[in-house]
A and B are shown apart, each in its own frame.
Chain A
Amino acid sequence: DAKTTQPTSMDCAEGRAANLPCNHSTISGNEYVYWYRQIHSQGPQYIIHGLKNNETNEMASLIITEDRKSSTLILPHATLRDTAVYYCIVRVALSGSARQLTFGSGTQLTVLP
């Protein structure tokens, strides 16, 4: 699985957009970008994933650069409940592949009132 690099921490004002970057310069053609988050003392929660097109769901948007070497997770209107560690994970499609998710150190996002 490709290695990812994320900033250790970020702050964001409540109500503003939170943009979390992730570098994955060694990503392979069949690898997806997955984002999970972990609120303190809880299990990780799936947010979104994508291959090469930008994706949006009710939680967030995922912007993947054309060369796929980096991506940005966007929380459009951050709330205090979005304070969490956000993990960017790159690997082959999870469906049909019973392999574990490997977590890096992630980005601690703190949403400030």
Chain B
Amino acid sequence: GAVVSQHPSRVICKSGTSVKIECRSLDFQATTMFWYRQFPKQSLMLMATSNEGSKATYEQGVEKDKFLINHASLTLSTLTVTSAHPEDSSFYICSAMQGGGYGYTFGSGTRLTVV
């Protein structure tokens, strides 16, 4: 089946630094990928929709200059959290749509801790 690889799985960074999270579709091409954020004991909240070769679409309340998304190829989307603060600590999850009506495949998530 389709696999989405997300890296790193865990990252700890200092406040004020930037962190890049990669999301790769391993055996299919993904024109569109989605980035979600999940705080403890809460559901997934969509942050942005990433389209290959064009600018990402951000959900209301998500700062596009803070959460930089690049989708330069059909198999790779990256999320960069710039100038991270402790309140950005969360679980970040990407997903990509595969064909055949089977919906979306999700990455395994990245646990970001900003200290």
CB distance from B102 to the nearest CB of A (A): 6
Chain A: number of interface residues, binned into ranges = 20 to 34
- B67 contacts A by Cβ under 8 Å: no
- B64 contacts A by Cβ under 8 Å: no
Partner of B109, one of A42, A94, A106: A42
Whether A101 contacts B43 in the complex (CB less than 8 A), given A43-B6, A43-B93, A43-B109, comes out as no
* A34 cross-chain contacts in B, Cβ below 8 A: 103
How many residues of chain B get a CB closer than 8 Å to chain A's CBs?
27
Q: What DSSP secondary structure best describes chain A's contact surface? A: loop
* B109 cross-chain contacts in A, Cβ below 8 A: 41-43
Stretch of A11-19, A44-52, A76-84 on the interface side: A44-52
Whether A98 contacts B31 in the complex (CB less than 8 A), given A43-B6, A104-B43, comes out as yes
In A42-74, which residues have CB < 8 Å from any B CB? 42-46, 49
* A28 cross-chain contacts in B, Cβ below 8 A: none
Q: Establish whether residues A101 and B111, one from each chain, have CB atoms under 8 Å apart when the complex forms.
A: no
Q: List 14 A-B contacts (CB under 8 A).
A: A41-B111, A43-B6, A43-B93, A43-B106, A44-B44, A94-B97, A95-B99, A95-B100, A95-B103, A98-B31, A101-B104, A102-B46, A103-B45, A106-B43
